[in-house]
Amino acid sequence: MLDIKFAVTNLDKIKEMLIKRGQTIDLAPLESLNDERKRLQQEYDSLRAEQNKASEEIARLKKDKKDASSIIASMQSAASKVKEIQPKLTEIEDKLRSVLLLIPNIPHESVPVGTDSAQNPVVRTWGEKPNLDFKPKEHFDIGENLGILDFDRAAKISGARFTIYKSHGAALERALINFMLDVHTRENGYTEMLPPYMVNAKAMTGTGQLPKFEADLFKTNYDYYLIPTAEVPVTNYYADEILKGADLPIKFSAYSACFRSEAGSYGKDTRGLIRQHQFNKVELVKFAHPDNSYAELESLTNNAESILQKLGLHYRVVSLCTGDIGFSSAKTYDIEVWLPGQNAYREISSCSNFEDFQARRANIRFKDAGGKTRFVHTLNGSGLAVGRTVVAILENYQLSDGSVVIPEALRFYMHGLEKIT
């Protein structure tokens, strides 16, 4: 959420931002609602001032055992007027907030201008495509042939976009989770967290999934939403709190299952593990000082990259352009891993700095060195999407006979297994 003062005094900037993002929002209500709010607030304040003054006078008279009935009678009209204005004011404030909640974040000045993902510049690449002297298979064929992924039976018991991992497949997924958490907690300085997978609407609003993206979420019949990412519970961990400036940055790493309705992506990635209703992810979350949140974004991205490096998987980092960047984000790097079977780079991590956009929604603040209370900057990134990492391993480490080599960094977690055959 943007700051209302900033919003009404920088309407041009917001309009420009919306054009760059390729979106249209009617901003007229913003100005008129804010004017109306100010007008009502002033009226309300002066009425209340009158009431408060009279109250003091009444108190004084009563204390002196004098008659106050005339002044009490004279205040009755003011009281009824206050009752008239109050609900109007509340209504305007609610409307104003609901408009603000639908305005996306302003991209950082370093974010490239562009219309879609084709215009995301590559920032860097790491490693090289593997040399496969045969036609590489896609991960779902490899997995099914090895008997470690079962899509048909998952469809039978759940539906499309679900998978059952079996045997070494299940072990591989579990190994990756432990491997990633160990690297982030022991080498990268994150504190591990295991959060709830169901949260309330307030938490979803805090991180920006609600109110705009309700259709992307699964909701239970008890008013709980299934989390689409651990970002939601972990970022909201400090909602409505004031942190100590000296404690920043605070870094959490959390494994969770993630649930997404994938509404609107019908027909995309229908086969395999790439796009699932339920998938596993290890998430990185940071609460940072506004002065160095962009340096923190770089290191967070590097932390996510370190997993791919240890696994020996070739990837590139792209900077999302203004037309592709997410609603809440001010700047996002996507890490795209190379998939020989698909002959394409695919997103395996998305690392973002939200600046104070989420902090303002979730009300997460800190005391700076001067004792002033300010909003923190929140950041997060996948470290990494586990299912897609399995895809990358199967496709990059496949052999011509259909077997798959286990990357060395993972063998400890696979009890020494070197190859899935």
Partner RNA sequence: GGAGAGGUGACCGAGUGGUUGAAGGUACCGGUCUUGAAAACCGGCGUGCAGAAAUGUACCGUGAGUUCGAAUCUCACCCUCUCCGCCA
Residues that bind RNA (CB under 7 A): 4-5, 38, 41-42, 44-46, 48-49, 51-56, 58-59, 62, 72, 75-76, 78-79, 82-83, 87, 90, 241-242, 371-373
Out of 21, 260, 346, 361, the active site residue is 260
Indicate the residue among 194 and 344 with the shorter CB distance to RNA: 194
Partners of 287 in beta bridges: 250, 378
Beta-carbon contacts of residue 136 (< 8 Å; ≥ 6 apart): 340, 341, 343, 395, 398
Instruction: Report the C-alpha gap between 212 and 22 in whole angstroms.
Output: 16
User: Cα separation of 67 and 63, whole Å?
Assistant: 10
Residue 344: exposure state from Cβ atoms within 10 A (0-12, 13-18, ≥19)? exposed
The answer to whether 153 is a known catalytic residue is: no
Nearer CB in complex with RNA: 55/158: 55
Q: Is 46 tagged catalytic?
A: no
Rg (CA), the chain: 27
- Shortest distance in whole angstroms from residue 283 CB to RNA: 23
Identity of the residue, 211 or 402, whose beta carbon is nearer to RNA in the bound complex: 211
Q: Which of 189, 377, 190, 188 is nearest to 291 (CA)?
A: 377
350 included as an active-site residue: yes
Q: 338: phi > 0 → left, psi -120 to 50 → alpha, else beta; which? A: beta
**For this structure, is 382 an active site residue?**
no
Alpha carbons 327 and 212: distance in angstroms, whole number: 9
Between 147 and 196, whose beta carbon lies closer to RNA?
Answer: 196
Could you tell me if 265 and 245 are in contact, meaning their C-beta atoms sit under 8 angstroms apart? Answer: no
Please, which residue, 155 or 198, has the CB nearer to RNA?
Answer: 198
Q: Closest CB to RNA among 27 and 58? A: 58
Please, how many CA atoms are within 13 Å of residue 26, restricted to the half-sphere of its CB?
Answer: 6
N-term to C-term CA, the chain: 51
Question: Does 271 participate in catalysis according to the annotation?
Answer: no
Nearer residue to RNA within complex by CB, 64 or 152: 64
Query: Closest distance between RNA and the C-beta of residue 374, in Å?
Result: 8
Marked catalytic residue, from 253, 349, 350, 382: 350
Catalytic residue among 37, 48, 174, 275: 275
Amino acid at 378: T
Q: Nearest CA to 362 among 229, 227, 232?
A: 232
* 3-state secondary structure at position 159: coil
Q: Which of 192, 306, 347, 403 is catalytic?
A: 347
What values do phi and psi take at 244, rounded to 5?
-85, 130
The tokens of 124 are what?
Answer: 């860097």
| Cα within 13 Å of Cα(57), Cβ side | 14
Active site residues: 260, 275, 347, 350, 388
